[in-house]
């Protein structure tokens, strides 16, 4: 029943009311993993969601929700992150009524599992779930119902993208995900990533379509670049509650959201 409620008007998201107050948006930063957490709220109904909360900063997020007089419905994860532990569990404790959400394909435990095309509603607004695997099999991008903003997780970063050399990643899959699920959005759609390491906060679809040094390559060139990054693994990889899907090299149970 709960999962079915997320699928109301699947692929038929209503446009937000032009007569009401605009969406409330707050972008917050966790410096150790350079992670962005996003708070979205409806100023009229006071219903809200959080995207990609981090364990260490979950109390900060909960305090902001309370200060703004919001009711947090969902703590939503774009994927299982390898560089930090999700704050969803803490938020469920601090804000009763909040439910954790992640893609069914992530292999992670959560109150609600979502799939491509599902709608997550809060007040007059909704996020469409767009499957964007490649960084991990369970990656999703969340697109606001008026197509004005997209929360791309690690699939698309500002002038970059998520790595594909672990967590069952696949460079070719990521390339096609970004080009088919994100670059097909309107050019002025704002891009809000899960991380940034250079001080950027927001981009647009048009900027990334034309300026992203990796994703403007051909698919074959992109795969070659991604296969030769030789990056070190994130420090928190392998911790029990935050990183690996069942059956991956990290072992253990699925993340507990």
User: What are 96-150's pLDDT values in tens digits?
Assistant: 999 999 999 988 889 999 999 999 999 999 999 999 999 999 999 999 999 999 9
3-state class (DSSP) for residue 128: strand
- Does residue 236 lie within any of the structural domains? no
Overall number of domains in the chain: 1
Task: Tell me the two tokens of residue 194.
Answer: 């899960």
130 contacts: CB under 8 Å, gap ≥ 6:
116, 117, 140, 141, 142, 143, 181, 182
Alpha-carbon distance of 136 to 67, in angstroms, equals 35
Report yes or no on 193 lying in a domain: yes
Q: What strands lie across the sheet with 24-30, from one edge to the other?
A: 24-30, 35-41, 47-51, 71-76, 99-103, 112-114
43-57, 71-85, 143-157, 190-204: least confidently modelled range: 71-85
Greater confidence (235 vs 118) lies with 118
What does the buried/exposed string (b/e) look like for 5-14 if buried means 16 or more CB atoms within 10 Å of the residue's CB? Answer: ebeeeeeebe
Residue 51 has pLDDT above 80, yes or no: yes
Range of the domain at 148: 24-227
pLDDT averaged over every residue in the chain: 85
Residue 13 lies in a domain: no
Kindly state whether residue 256 falls inside one of the protein's structural domains: no
User: Quick check: is 141 in a domain?
Assistant: yes
The answer to the question of residue 103 being in a domain is: yes
DSSP-assigned beta bridge partners for residue 29: 36
Which sign does the torsion angle of CA 106, 110, 114, 120 carry?
A: negative
Place of tokens 């059956």: 247
**Model confidence over 62-76: pLDDT tens digits?**
999 999 999 999 999
Which pTM does this prediction carry?
0.84
Partnered with residue 153 across adjacent β-strands are 193
Q: Is residue 5 part of a domain?
A: no
- Position of tokens 């410096």? 31
**CA–CA dist 84, 190 (Å, integer):** 25
Tokens (6 digits) for 247: 């059956």
Is residue 72 assigned to a domain?
Answer: yes
Residue 223 sits in a domain of what CATH number? 3.60.15.10
Name the β-bridge partners of 38.
27, 51
**CA distance linking residue 157 with residue 147, whole number of Å:** 18
């Amino acid at each position: 029943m709960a999962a079915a409620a997320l699928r109301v008007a699947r692929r038929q998201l209503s446009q937000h009311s032009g007569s009401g107050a605009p969406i409330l948006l707050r972008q917050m930063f966790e410096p150790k993993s350079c992670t962005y957490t996003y708070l979205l709220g409806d100023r009229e109904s006071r219903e809200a969601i959080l995207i990609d909360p981090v364990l260490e900063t979950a109390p900060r997020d909960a305090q902001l929700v309370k200060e703004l007089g919001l009711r947090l419905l969902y703590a939503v994860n774009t994927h299982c992150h390898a560089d930090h532990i999700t704050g969803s569990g803490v938020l469920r404790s601090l804000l009763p009524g909040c439910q954790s959400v992640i893609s069914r394909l992530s292999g992670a435990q959560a109150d609600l599992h979502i799939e491509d095309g599902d709608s997550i509603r809060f007040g007059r607004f909704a996020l469409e779930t767009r499957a964007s695997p490649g960084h991990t099999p369970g990656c999703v991008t969340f697109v606001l119902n008026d197509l004005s903003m997209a929360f791309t997780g690690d699939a698309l970063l500002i002038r970059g993208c998520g790595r594909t050399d672990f967590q069952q990643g696949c460079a070719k899959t990521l390339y096609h995900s970004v080009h088919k699920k994100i670059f097909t959005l309107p050019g002025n759609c704002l891009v809000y990533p899960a991380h940034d390491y250079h001080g950027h906060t927001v981009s647009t679809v048009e900027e990334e379509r034309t300026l992203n040094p990796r994703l403007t390559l051909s698919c074959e060139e992109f795969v070659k670049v991604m296969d030769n990054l030789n990056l070190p693994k994130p420090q928190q990889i392998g911790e029990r509650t935050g990183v690996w899907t069942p059956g991956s090299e990290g072992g253990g149970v699925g993340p507990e959201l």
